[in-house]
């Protein structure tokens, strides 16, 4: 089966989820820290779409918005497909409003 993250439908979902997250100023679901929505893609503090249940193990949930979470790019990559959310490092500071 082809990776569903390489489809037009996934890119559309990713754009929609980012706009919703930006509107709510979501924090990273992994570390709880503030996400830099202005940061270039793939920089450590930039927003990245993550999945509560990994796409590798649950490809049928790749396009399910209920499985999508906001994360830092670095937290998402550190967690990986098999990573536990609670076991990761230090909590980042939240942005003040």
Residue 80: pLDDT band with limits 50, 70, 90: confident
pLDDT for res 81 = 74
The three-state secondary structure class of 64 is coil
Query: What is the Cα–Cα distance from 34 to 65, expressed in whole angstroms?
Result: 21
Mean pLDDT of 23-38: 96
Q: Which residue has the tokens 């996400």?
A: 35
- Global pTM reads 0.79
Residue 23: pLDDT band with limits 50, 70, 90: very high
């Amino acid at each position: 089966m082809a990776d569903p993250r390489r489809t037009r439908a996934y890119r559309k979902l990713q754009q929609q989820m980012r706009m919703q997250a930006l509107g709510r100023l979501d924090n990273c679901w992994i570390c709880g820290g503030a996400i830099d929505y202005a940061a270039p893609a793939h920089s450590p503090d930039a927003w990245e779409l993550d999945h509560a249940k990994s796409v590798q193990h649950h490809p049928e949930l790749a396009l399910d918005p209920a499985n999508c979470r906001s994360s830092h790019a670095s937290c998402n990559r550190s967690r990986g497909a098999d990573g536990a959310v609670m076991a990761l490092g230090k909590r980042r500071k939240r942005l003040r409003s």
